[in-house]
Chains A and B, each alone.
Chain A
Amino acid sequence: MQLQCPMPKLDFDVITIGHGSGGVLTNKLLDSGVFDLLSNPILDERHDGAFIEMNGKLAFSTDSFLVSPIFFPGGNIGELAVNGTVNDLSMCGAIPKYLSLSFIIEEGLKMKEFWEILTSIKFACEKARVQVVTGDTKVVEKGKGDKIFINTSGIGQVHPKANISAKNIKIGDKIIISGNIASHGMAIMSVREGLEFDSQILSDTTNLNHTIINLIEKFGNGIHLVTDPTRGGVATVLKELALSSGIGIELKQNDLPIDNQVYSACELLGLDPLYVANEGLFLSFVDASVADDFLKTLKQDENGINAKIIGEVVEEHPKQVIIESAIGGKRVVSMLPGEQLPRIC
């Protein structure tokens, strides 16, 4: 569903270098509705920084978003920027509260496109129940950017029952994935210039905070770690954890949930879905004693319908991730040297 807020009538269609100058044009751009769309008492003060009151243990995270194209099947860079930081805070066991929002815009961006991005930011914030409380806008010359880059930082309140740390992972922990892998990366790939293919693959970008907090409420200490396998995919995150925590991990290829179209697209281009980016997905390391119950609860959540146990932490082969192939053979899973590139034939 595409949610819309009508764009106000403006005397400019395109964002130019002057809109980032801090002068009249900047104010014109911000007054065009940016403040109205994202309005809340803290932001409305329009001061140099935001005043916020929070107590207890806090989590703080930042992320920059660059994606080409900026509009892709299933979303756009705006909601990606909100969900990305919201999810990073959620992976800390925190309830996300406040965001900062910074744009670096390449001159020439159509106001209509910027408005659509802003609108999706507004709805993503509402859905995640977070507020944008401070921000910044800069405009760079044509050719010095790629339409728009967004940075968000966020702050959240750590849930009192959350005890999330890679140090808590222990042998026997079950590894649970919350849904189908590789959808976001393949949705982007399907519209990338030169590699386009027809499909109905949609990005899985969404906020995961409500899902995670529900699980923490119920399982508390039983959840040892939650982490989102974004760039580099499931393989990279697991290998990083194996290396940094010295644990051994075993996976089964046939247990990895993947949408049929995504699977076909990966095969066609010669990409391994284990390394393809995800957005609205998380991996949980949970105590074996609660794993089944955890899975059952997660599967009832809209973000966990396709959740599955995909592996476990083992004593053997510390620092190695071993996957059992579809036919029962075994191989190691390593990190990629760079971006996956489509093969020749």
Chain B
Amino acid sequence: MKYMNEYRDPILAKQYLEEIKKTVTQNWRIMEVCGGQTHSLVKNGIIDMLPKEITMVHGPGCPVCVTPLHLIDKAVHLALNENVILCSFGDMLRVPGSEKSLLEAKAEGGDVRILYSPLEAVKIAEENPEKDVVFFAVGFETTAPANALSVIHAHRKGLKNYSILASHVLVPPAIENVMEDPDSHIDGFLAAGHVCTIMGNFEYYPLVEKYKVPIVVTGFEPLDVLQGILMVVRQLEVNKAEVENQYARIVREEGNIEAQKVIFEVFEITDRLWRGMEIIPMSGYQVKEKYASFDATKKYQIDIEEAEENQECIAGEIMKGIKKPFECPQFGKKCKPTNPLGAPMVSSEGACAAYFHYSGLVER
């Protein structure tokens, strides 16, 4: 298929691998920020094909995984409100809250609907004026424009029964957080191509400057990832630390200006708690005061206690690249996709799920 099979070509893949082998002379730890890239690495068997000098470290770029527990509990609480239709991306449904997941709330009679676009939720709000429609707006910068646009549309249509439960997180502060952690030891990054499609590359220049690490904006197909790795290794081997763009067929230096305008019409930057990690300053979006009536956290007074994370889950260490999924004592034992202790085991972008599904580490 056009624009897909070209990036899954076995001959070119072999050439990239040979080039990486020729270039590398010492051990490097490279973090792919995005969970989509983690899955591409594991699903295509790339990790085992790379030379032993290169360790791929899986980063925090799984929006489902970093959505705070109390927000999932809020979503579950709303889903069980019989006046509410809770709409969500499919990926969120299996993520465990402190008591139950959205999938379980649905089974208990909650009106939970899986959507692919938040604009669909606006349509549902129009069609169901007697109900309140809440969209669980999670994601990195990639999904922020569509989520913001849904608020703008609802505002224009004068809808009083639409709001979003926003949990947006941002990549550059996460990279900074990883670099500040003395246990992470990351030599270079593959930045998330889709995020940069929206935001451009300029946010990454201060980071390469400050931490002296190469950052290569990279796509998701096997050849994208291999080329991204090669570009990082080439920089590392000659002691360079620059921003490069592997995903130039999609990502423009300035990003998508129109999408950025939409984001900042609705959202403003705020501190955000990352599940399993900590509060990272200026690392997320919240709905601006101007659109407060579309902000589910303000619209509904949800008094639920902040629950404690399951102490056996080491999601934070996994997402910072300090530990690999199989180094968790509960991996494949107490923690499985059917009975997850944490979100990385159930998200389609979670590192634990990738290892569970695609590597031969557990007898299933």
Contact residues of A with B, CB < 8 Å?
193-195, 239, 254, 260, 263-264, 267, 269-270, 317, 319-320, 322, 324-332, 334-338, 341-345
- Cα A335 to Cα B63 in complex, Å, equals 24
Q: Which residues of B contact A270 (CB under 8 A)?
A: 348
B10 touches A337 (CB 8 A): no
- Cα A269 to Cα B346 in complex, Å, equals 17
Q: B249: shortest Cβ distance to chain A, in Å?
A: 16
Known: A194-B120, A345-B194. A329 touches B48 (CB 8 A): yes
Known: A194-B116, A341-B93. A325 touches B43 (CB 8 A): yes
A338 touches B94 (CB 8 A): yes
B356 touches A334 (CB 8 A): yes
B90 touches A343 (CB 8 A): yes
Q: Does B89 contact A (CB under 8 A)?
A: yes
- Cα A330 to Cα B194 in complex, Å, equals 26
The interface bits of chain B over 134-163 (1 if a CB of A lies within 8 angstroms of the residue's CB, else 0) are 000011101100000000000000000000
- Residue in A269, A329, A335, A343 whose CB lies within 8 Å of B364: A335
A332 touches B348 (CB 8 A): no
Q: Does B349 contact A (CB under 8 A)?
A: yes
- Closest residue of chain B to A327 (Cβ to Cβ) is B13
Q: Which residues of A contact B36 (CB under 8 A)?
A: 345
B115 touches A331 (CB 8 A): no
Q: Which residues of A contact B94 (CB under 8 A)?
A: 337-338, 341
The interface bits of chain B over 38-80 (1 if a CB of A lies within 8 angstroms of the residue's CB, else 0) are 0000111110110000000000000110000000000000000
B222 touches A327 (CB 8 A): yes
- Residue in B114, B124, B140, B222 whose CB lies within 8 Å of A326: B222
Q: B342: shortest Cβ distance to chain A, in Å?
A: 14
- Cα A283 to Cα B360 in complex, Å, equals 24
Q: Does B238 contact A (CB under 8 A)?
A: no
Q: List 15 A-B contacts (CB under 8 A).
A: A269-B116, A322-B360, A326-B10, A327-B14, A329-B44, A329-B45, A329-B46, A329-B48, A330-B48, A331-B45, A332-B358, A335-B364, A337-B338, A337-B346, A344-B143
A194 touches B87 (CB 8 A): yes
Q: Does B203 contact A (CB under 8 A)?
A: no
User: Which 9 A/B pairs are nearest by Cβ-Cβ distance?
Assistant: A329-B45, A341-B90, A337-B337, A327-B13, A326-B8, A342-B90, A325-B44, A331-B358, A194-B115
Q: A316: shortest Cβ distance to chain B, in Å?
A: 12
- Cα A334 to Cα B356 in complex, Å, equals 9
B114 touches A342 (CB 8 A): yes
A331 touches B44 (CB 8 A): yes
The interface bits of chain B over 332-354 (1 if a CB of A lies within 8 angstroms of the residue's CB, else 0) are 00001110000000101100000
Q: Which residues of A contact B103 (CB under 8 A)?
A: 338
Q: B138: shortest Cβ distance to chain A, in Å?
A: 7
- Residue in A264, A269, A336, A344 whose CB lies within 8 Å of B138: A344
Known: A194-B120, A342-B91. A263 touches B1 (CB 8 A): yes
- Cα A250 to Cα B363 in complex, Å, equals 17
A342 touches B45 (CB 8 A): no
B222 touches A325 (CB 8 A): yes
Known: A194-B115, A326-B8. A343 touches B91 (CB 8 A): yes
Q: Which residues of A contact B116 (CB under 8 A)?
A: 194-195, 269, 342
Q: Does B4 contact A (CB under 8 A)?
A: yes
- Closest residue of chain A to B13 (Cβ to Cβ) is A327
Known: A327-B8, A327-B9. A342 touches B356 (CB 8 A): no
Q: Which residues of A contact B359 (CB under 8 A)?
A: 331-332
Q: Which residues of B contact A195 (CB under 8 A)?
A: 114-116
- Residue in B9, B45, B346, B363 whose CB lies within 8 Å of A330: B45
- Cα A163 to Cα B242 in complex, Å, equals 65
Q: Which residues of B contact A324 (CB under 8 A)?
A: 45
Q: Does B131 contact A (CB under 8 A)?
A: no
- Cα A341 to Cα B337 in complex, Å, equals 13
- Residue in B1, B4, B10, B358 whose CB lies within 8 Å of A327: B10
Q: Which residues of A contact B124 (CB under 8 A)?
A: 194
- Closest residue of chain A to B90 (Cβ to Cβ) is A341
Q: B155: shortest Cβ distance to chain A, in Å?
A: 22
Known: A263-B1, A338-B94, A342-B114. A329 touches B89 (CB 8 A): no
Q: B275: shortest Cβ distance to chain A, in Å?
A: 15
Q: Which residues of A contact B13 (CB under 8 A)?
A: 327-328
Known: A194-B114, A344-B91, A344-B138. A331 touches B1 (CB 8 A): no
